Amino acid sequence: MASTPDCIHDKDDVKGETEHYELEETSLAPDLTELQKEILIVAALPEDEYNLAEKELVRKIDTRLLPVLFILLVLNYLDRNALASARVQGLEKDLGLKGTQFNTAISILFVGYILGQVPSNLILSRVRPSLYLSGFVALWGAVSMSTALADNYTHLIIIRFFLGVTESPYFPGALFLLSAWYPKKVLLSADQILPSLTFRSTTLLQQFRTSVLYTGSLLSGAFSGLISAGVQQGMDGLAGLASWKWLFILEGGITIIAAFVSMFILPDYPATTRWLTLREKAIAVYRLEKDTGVRDEETMSLFQSFRSAATDYKLYILALVIITKTTAGAVTQFIPTVVATFGMSKVNTLLLTAPPYLLAAVIALVISYTSDRKPERFIIAVATTATAPRYFSLFLMIGGMFGSYNVALAWISSTFARPRAKRAAAYAIINSLGNVAQVWSPYLYDKEYSPRYTIAFATNTVMAAAAVCFCLVLRFCLARENKKMEEREMADREGAESKRIRYVL
């Protein structure tokens, strides 16, 4: 009689153990929900089986979450920055703008943008992101389209303010949703590092996914110049409308269409996404719990979440990093204006705005990728100090500033990992405070300072240096916190045996 192969016995043993575990947990905890029971089963899976299931889940989320967020962010920045291209196309002259009125139109958007972020992210932590974010995408698309109806300065200011309000939920909300699905980077002692390649690659690439998302803002700068040049060349005067009016109509209309499509593709949260199976939900929840030691669910009221984030000193250091970077980054609102000083035609001016953004996108991805492999965040900020005059300086400034900005965004996620509502509040508060710089920095690019814009570029240099200093301060504070945790572990034998989470430096 042929003997049964050992591998079949092994599979039967594993199956029997899993079934026994499922029955045991169900009998011991009859009040658990189906998802909670499934999480217990997932936790007992053999490592190889769990890693394979996790890999499949990550692939499924990567193909639906990241591409949609990326496309929507491209549209977000296209609609926001269309005014800069419209200036080259004649908007300033057609609306009779004088003095600093165009600068005010740029600035006022960020007033509405800042006011809406904190309450929006707190609400987002309680509702379905797929519907909430997509709904606001459609709203800002409609508001952006209405810019074509503006016929004076007052109309333009009102529209820009409400464009800021309707855009405010998306970017901090997208970062928050991304952090709800991917583990943060964890630093463990040598004996605690899991040997699984799947787990390690997943955690290593979380910051890189954030970088890929934000690179959409860079590509939007390149697309904006190319689209504007095409509209200027082929649609100026069509149906009696100026090219800049067509620009807002086309970009806003595309945004509305994308919003309705995204409603059916975007996930919600790991435990509530409808197109995931029960097993996939359990794995999604468990992998985050394993990463941070706590389940990513609500344990605080909205006010408690806000207070917890607002009283954390690390939040304000990160906010200072973002403020200095966004001050230097205000040049992106005026790239077409700076290029226009070259004295070329409207079409050529718009075309020349694309290359700096394309190179900057590559630089940003390289910086973020290497940051994941060697998580020394503060070194990356040095890249933002290079500023030089004219066209070549645009490549240096945009590439260095956005590359380091990607890393700063990932730093927020790893510093405020859990609970969910505190992380949402932290993203919103930091992004709101950071964008305060966008309210006043447009006035550095007043036409009276053209063509050199000495004050603006000097300010960018100072702010880049300040960002380096604040990154060093934060690194010192996080290293001190890590040291305190290590000291507590040494004093607690039981705690020393459990997996401890470290701040990413």
Residue 313 CA to residue 304 CA, distance in Å, equals: 16
Cis peptide before 375 (omega within 30 of 0): no
- pLDDT exceeds 80 at position 237: yes
AA identity, residue 18 = T
What is the pTM assigned to this prediction? 0.75
**What is the C-alpha to C-alpha distance for residues 80 and 430, in angstroms, rounded to an integer?**
20
For 285-338, how does the pLDDT look when each residue is reduced to its tens digit (9 = 90+)? 998 887 655 555 555 666 777 788 888 888 899 889 888 888 877 777 677 777
Residue 164 CA to residue 327 CA, distance in Å, equals: 18
- Categorize the per-residue pLDDT at 231 as very low, low, confident or very high, splitting at 50, 70 and 90: very high
Residues 368 and 413: beta-carbon distance below 8 Å:
no
pLDDT band, very low/low/confident/very high, at 7 (cuts 50, 70, 90) = very low
Query: Residue 104 above 90 pLDDT?
Result: yes
The yes-or-no verdict on residue 142 having pLDDT over 60 is yes
Nearest-angstrom CA–CA distance, 347 and 234: 11
What average pLDDT does this structure show over 98-123? 90
* pLDDT on residue 11: 40
pLDDT at residue 158 in the model? 97
Determine the pLDDT at residue 293.
52
| Environment class of 182 (CB within 10 Å of its CB; exposed 0-12, middle 13-18, buried 19+) | buried
Q: According to the model, what pLDDT value does residue 8 have?
A: 40
Query: What digits encode the pLDDT tens for the residues 414-456?
Result: 777 666 777 778 888 888 888 888 888 888 877 777 777 778 8
Q: Give tens-digit pLDDT for 398-410.
A: 766 766 676 777 7
* Cis peptide bond N-terminal to 419, omega within 30: yes
Q: Quick check: 278 pLDDT over 70?
A: yes
Both tokens assigned to 128 = 């379905």
Name which of 7-16, 84-93, 229-238 the model is least confident about.
7-16
Three-state DSSP string of 358-375: HHHHHHHHHHHHHHHHCC
Residues 6+ apart with CB under 8 A from 106: 83, 84, 160, 333, 442
CA 210 to chain centroid, in Å, comes to 6
Over 390-408, what HEC string results? HHHHHHHHHHHHHHHHHHH
Instruction: Say how far apart CA 486 and CA 492 lie, in whole Å.
Output: 10
- Helices 170-179 and 420-434 cross at an angle (nearest 10°) of 140
**219 vs 2 pLDDT, higher one:** 219
Structural domains for the chain: 61-180+187-292+300-496 (1.20.1250.20)
> Residue 186: its pLDDT value, please?
34
Could you tell me the maximum CA-CA distance found in the chain, to the nearest angstrom? 97
User: In this predicted model, what pLDDT tens digit does every residue of 482-491 receive, in sequence order?
Assistant: 888 777 777 7
Contact 71, 215 (CB under 8 A): no
Best mean pLDDT range from 29-38, 53-62, 221-230: 53-62
Q: If you average pLDDT over every residue of the chain, what do you get?
A: 78
pLDDT in tens, 356-376: 888 777 877 776 666 544 444
Tell me, what's the pLDDT at 496?
45
Q: Which of 77, 71, 243 is nearest to 144 (CA)?
A: 77
Per-residue pLDDT band for 14 (boundaries 50, 70, 90) equals very low
HSE-up of 432 (CA within 13 Å, CB side)?
22
Who wins on pLDDT, 146 or 413? 146
* CA-CA-CA-CA torsion sign (308, 312, 316, 318): negative
Please tell me the predicted confidence (pLDDT) of residue 251.
95
How many C-beta atoms lie closer than 10 Å to residue 360's C-beta? Answer: 27
